[in-house]
Amino acid sequence: MIRSKNAGKLLRVGVVGVGRGQSFARGMNEKIGMKLVALCDTWKERLKTVGRQYRVATYASYEKFLEHEMDAVILANYFHQHAPFAIQALRAGCHVMSETTAAKTMAECVALCREVERSGRIYMFAENYPYMLAVQEMRRLYQAGEIGAVRYAEGEYNHAADEDWRLSISPGLRHWRNWLPPTYYCSHALAPLMFVTDTLPVRVNALSIIEEAVQSPRTVRVADPGAPILVRMDNGSVFRIWGLMLSSIHRVRYEVHGERGLLTTGDPLPSGMLRIYHENWLRKTGEKPHETLYRPDWPDHGNLASQAGHGGGDFWTSFHFVRAIRARRQPYLDCYRGVSMSAVGIQGWRSCLEEGKPYPIPDFRNEYERRAFENDHWSPFPEDAGPGQPPPSILGYVSPDRKALERAGRVWKGMGYKGKDLPPV
């Protein structure tokens, strides 16, 4: 494969996934520094349609896709399938930006770190919530010492949703969204707190929540919908994060409690307002008033960020990926931070199944610590089912009701879904 040597040229990028992947495809331009050159997906009909729209090469085979002349790959495929794709792309000489969870098992976490180190290529974990407007301002203020060292923080990502909409984005009984334990998608809640405070997780405790309205037998979702997770960080602080799909409210929220005050985002989304709070007796001379509520400005490129999805995060992930490649320096959201978040989800689910027992998160930068997990293939996903593998719910394996199956079958058939796991209508 030919690699671009001129840092001023547009990076030639291929995208895996023509669903979510189109958000990245649409955002590529000269200002970002990317040029879309290829698309890959196993959904051949949609792949052809999207390929014609963007006028680029299309591939149903990932191996053939990697033979295309390009500098980088963006992975927007299924949530739990990123690590093997990332490793393969790194071995092919491509830089990689990967969404959702970096790895589905502790063994994949270790393998991914080793491959990034071996390859010398750039790997970016494309977690977009740290780059929302208010979160970036929280980081600026925290790094400037506005509230002192963090001692406690909260992160919330709860995606309440109508069942028909949920079914529309999770076609098939074996779709990952129907089997995803609530701790696994923890990055939207945890990543912004890590980004603001520059801390890493070292231990996790979690408890799973069951709710009839959003899991079997009323729906075809067999996994539990929510979990509060306590995370001990490497500076001794405690973060409480929670979500994922409880029916109560759709809300994203962050709070950072420091030794001298509080930083917190607006409600219900952290894309605008920010609150700073200081008890009067902790205020320094000339410091901001007791309480301040304001909307910050973008640090730069506001016109582009404000048009991008996820509160501007979809712009900033691509921006920092390109900048890291050109600087030949790993980005802030590197593989070590990415797999640490994945490990919180994995070890958190172990904790849930043992009613809150603490589990360690290794320092993935340390070969000695991570080596203990190199053969840990523990996974709740249906394709890995077998002896020693965990269920997706603290209730075990719960079968959906006949009416729930019929409803899902009608929705999925109406979408044109033809998978083998389509229930009878």
Query: What distance, in Å, lies between the first and last C-alpha atoms of the chain?
Result: 47
What's the CA gap between 190 and 177, in Å, rounded?
19
Among 127-136, 146-155, 295-304, the range scoring the smallest mean pLDDT is 295-304
Question: Does residue 268 have a cis bond before it (omega within 30 degrees)?
Answer: yes
Give the strand pairing for 226-233 and 123-125: unpaired
Work out the angle at residue 25's Cα, subtended by the Cα atoms of residues 133 and 329, and round it to the nearest 5 degrees. 65
What's the CA gap between 380 and 394, in Å, rounded?
11
What's the CA gap between 77 and 64, in Å, rounded?
16
Q: In this predicted model, what pLDDT tens digit does every residue of 20-70 receive, in sequence order?
A: 999 898 889 888 999 999 999 998 888 999 999 999 999 999 999 999 999
Residue 3 has pLDDT above 60, yes or no: no
As given in the structure block, the two tokens for residue 31 are 């200002």
User: Do 11-128 and 130-310+334-384 share a fold?
Assistant: no
* SS3 state at 229: strand
Among 75-89, 299-313, 357-371, the range scoring the smallest mean pLDDT is 299-313
Using 50, 70 and 90 to split pLDDT, how confident is the model at 120? Answer: very high
> Domain 130-310+334-384 is classified in which CATH homologous superfamily?
Dihydrodipicolinate Reductase; domain 2 (3.30.360.10)
Q: In this predicted model, what pLDDT tens digit does every residue of 258-287 receive, in sequence order?
A: 999 999 997 656 567 899 999 988 877 776
DSSP 8-state assignment for residue 210: -
Cα torsion 321, 326, 328, 330 to 10°: value is -20
Q: In this predicted model, what pLDDT tens digit does every residue of 403-424 receive, in sequence order?
A: 999 999 999 999 888 888 999 7
As given in the structure block, the two tokens for residue 352 are 């849930």
Say if pTM beats, i.e. exceeds, 0.85. Answer: yes
Other Cβ atoms closer than 10 A to 359: 17
Order of strands across the sheet that contains 11-16: 57-59, 34-40, 11-16, 72-75, 95-98, 123-125
Percentage of the chain modeled with pLDDT above 90: 80
Give the strand pairing for 72-75 and 95-98: parallel
CATH top-level class of 11-128: alpha beta
Give the number of C-alpha atoms closer than 13 A to the C-alpha of residue 351, restricted to the C-beta side.
Answer: 27
Using 50, 70 and 90 to split pLDDT, how confident is the model at 290? Answer: confident
H or E segment and range at residue 11: strand 11-16
> Which pLDDT score is estimated for 5?
44
- Rg of the Cα trace of the chain? 22
409 neighbors 422 (Cβ within 8 angstroms) = yes
* Domain range list for the chain: 11-128, 130-310+334-384
